[in-house]
Every structure is written in C-alpha cells, then in structure tokens.
Amino acid sequence: MINMKHNYKKQIVRGFLLLAGVMPFAIDAATVVATVDAQISTNATLSASTGMVFGDMTAGNLGGTVVLDPDGRRISTGTVSLNRASVSSPATLSLSGTPNGLYTIVLPSSVVLNDGGANNMIVTDFRSFPDAGGQLNGSGVASVKIGGTLNVGANQGFGNYSGSMTVVINYF
C-alpha cells in the first residue's frame, strides 16, 4: 500500500513535469544594440559684400550695352564708351552654411535702374560664377560673383542710376 501511494505521487509528479514541458507559455527574448544617425545643418546665410557696379560711361547717339562679367572684365558695345578710370565690379555674395553643403543660384531675369527721375536703364543677361551652383568649402563658406549686361539707350540721360536685384540661393 505504501508503495502504491508512492507510485501515485510519482505519476502525478511525472505528469505535471511532462505538462510543464509542453506548456507553450515559455517566452524567449533576445536583445541587440542598434545604431541611429542624423546630420544637422545650420541655416545658410547670404550676404552681399559688394553690389554690381558698371562704372562711368557715355551713351553716345546710338547707345549700346556694357557687359560686366563675373570675373570683373567690362566691355562696351554700340556707341557706349567706358571711362576706364572709374571703378567697376561684379556683385559679390558671401554664403555660409554647413561645410561641403550644396547650393544652386537663381538669378533675376532683369532689373530696372533709375536715376531718381524719369530715366531708366535695364540690366539683363545676369551671369554668375559659379555658373548655376556649387559647394561650400570645408569651412562652410563660398563666394558668388554676379555680372550682367547694362542696356544703355541712345543719348541716355546723364546721372547716377541704381536699382536692386534679388538673388535666390537654394541650399541643400
């Protein structure tokens, strides 16, 4: 009798052990360390160091153009003659942002210059260097030079002409 009781207990224990062995509630877990990355760019800044200056000239009876290249060279066409002693310069823009950041340049199609009265001239054919865009250097700065073509009318009125232009820099 004692042995039989002992066997019952052993059978019960075995049964529960077997049940525990097939219980589907055992949960495995595995952990790994993963990586995350981001690159932050500060907002780009754009400033005009110098404006575009075509210098002194006389129009003549037919007028013509003054072509100012981004590299500073200046030539005239038509009856326009240049005063070579006067100062001329392309516009210079200073751009700063994230080192090696890319940018594109959008130039205006035309800008009207006015003498403060009734006389106007138009600047067209804007060109820049770099041509359409570029890349900031390792320090995050770049310089953009801009020239254009000043259209001078026949017997253009004497005076100082000025205007403003909008240049858009798309920064990536």
Partner 1 sequence: MSKVFPIARSVYTIGFLLFFQWEMAYAWGVNAANCDTYVVPAQQNGLQFGSIMIITSGSPGSITVGTSNNIISSSNVLPVGGTVLSASFLGDDSGNGGPSNPGGCTNRSLVNVVVSDATLTGTGEDMTVTGMTPSIVSGTWDYRTTPLTVGGTLNINANQLSGNYNGTYSITVYYQ
Q: Angle at Cα 53 formed by Cα 51 and Cα 58, nearest 5°?
A: 160
CA distance 89 to 70: 8
Question: Which 85-114 residues touch partner 1, going by CB under 8 A?
Answer: 98-99
Supply the minimum distance, in Å, between the C-beta of residue 92 and partner 1.
24
Contact between 4 and partner 1 per CB under 8 A: yes
DSSP structure class, residue 11: H
Where b means 16+ CB within 10 Å and e means fewer, 128-137 reads beeeebbebe
If binding means CB under 8 A, how many residues of this protein chain bind partner 1? 41
Q: Which is nearer to partner 1, 28 or 160 (CB)?
A: 28
Q: How far apart are CA 49 and CA 86, in angstroms?
A: 19
Q: What b-and-e string marks burial along 148-161, b requiring 16 or more CB atoms within 10 Å of the CB?
A: bbbbbeeebeeeeb
User: Nearest approach, Cβ of 50 to partner 1 (angstroms)?
Assistant: 27
- The answer to whether residue 2 forms part of the interface with partner 1 (CB under 8 A) is no
28 near partner 1 (CB under 8 A): yes
Among 8, 62, 83, 155, binds partner 1 (CB under 8 A): 8
Give CA separation, 107 vs 40, 60, 131, in Å.
28, 29, 10
Token pair for residue 164?
Answer: 């403003």
Question: Closest separation between CB of residue 95 and partner 1, Å?
Answer: 14
- Taking the least distance from each CB to partner 1, the nearer of 91 and 142 is 142
Among 3, 35, 109, 160, binds partner 1 (CB under 8 A): 35
Give the residues lining the site for partner 1 (CB under 8 A).
1, 4-5, 8-9, 11-12, 14-19, 21-22, 24-44, 98-99, 140, 171-172
